[in-house]
């Protein structure tokens, strides 16, 4: 094994922490180089390579929210990673194709934003091929493999809502 590629989020906090820790451990144990790829980039890459000029990658963020990032095949930098409610007006209306489990889950709301492939389309799944397409494969140091957090963890939200934790 020469290189380990790991998706670093956004996604579920536990899932991306486990992925990052596993990748770091494997790299330290084997001496393999590490590379990272944001999950939304990996999700958008197959649609972009299939010729769709605009892609909106949408992952279900739970709590009735989605992680969203816009992409263009024109070579421009991807948009900012956002955490929004599916009905957020800032999503607007676009000619983009919407891919990801968030697009499937909130199809009724998000179909007004852009086109959504059928639920069983492979474009809705993050794949190893998508990770490779999206990654630049430039090696990074073990300590640079950190999850992308777009919002605070569910545990923090629950703690803030607990009346016993209020000062």
What does the pLDDT read at residue 167?
54
How many structural domains are present in the chain? Answer: 1
Residue 66 lies in a domain: yes
What does the pLDDT read at residue 163?
66
What does the pLDDT read at residue 74?
78
For residue 33, give every residue at least 6 positions away whose Cβ sits within 8 Å of its Cβ, in sequence order, or none: 2, 3, 4, 27, 139
What is the value of pTM for the model shown?
A: 0.86
Q: Give the count of beta carbons closer than 10 Å to the beta carbon of residue 135.
A: 19
Residue 167 lies in a domain: no
What does the pLDDT read at residue 151?
80
Boundaries of domain holding 126: 3-161
In DSSP notation, 104-122 reads: HHTHHHHTTTSB---TT-G
Q: CATH no. for residue 40?
A: 3.30.420.40
Among 16, 56, 17, 65, which residue's Cα sits nearest to residue 39? 16
- What are the 10-residue block averages of pLDDT along the chain, 167 residues in total? 92 90 96 94 95 96 95 84 94 93 97 96 95 90 91 62 61
Give the rounded distance of the alpha carbon of 70 from its chain centre: 11
């Amino acid at each position: 094994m020469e290189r380990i590629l790991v998706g670093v989020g956004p996604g579920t906090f536990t899932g991306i922490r486990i992925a990052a820790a596993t990748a770091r451990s494997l790299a330290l144990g084997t001496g393999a180089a590490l590379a990272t790829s944001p999950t939304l980039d990996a999700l958008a890459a197959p649609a972009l390579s299939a010729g769709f000029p605009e892609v909106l990658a949408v992952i279900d963020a739970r709590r009735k929210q989605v992680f969203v990032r816009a992409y263009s095949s024109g070579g421009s930098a991807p948009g900012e990673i956002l955490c929004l409610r599916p009905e957020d007006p800032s999503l607007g209306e676009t000619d983009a194709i919407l891919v990801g489990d968030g697009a499937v889950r909130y199809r009724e709301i998000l179909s007004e934003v852009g086109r959504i492939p059928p639920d069983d389309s492979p474009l809705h799944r993050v794949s190893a091929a998508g990770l490779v397409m999206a990654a630049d494969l430039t090696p990074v140091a073990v300590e640079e493999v950190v999850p992308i957090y777009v919002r605070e963890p569910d545990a923090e939200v629950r703690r803030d809502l607990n009346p016993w934790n209020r000062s």
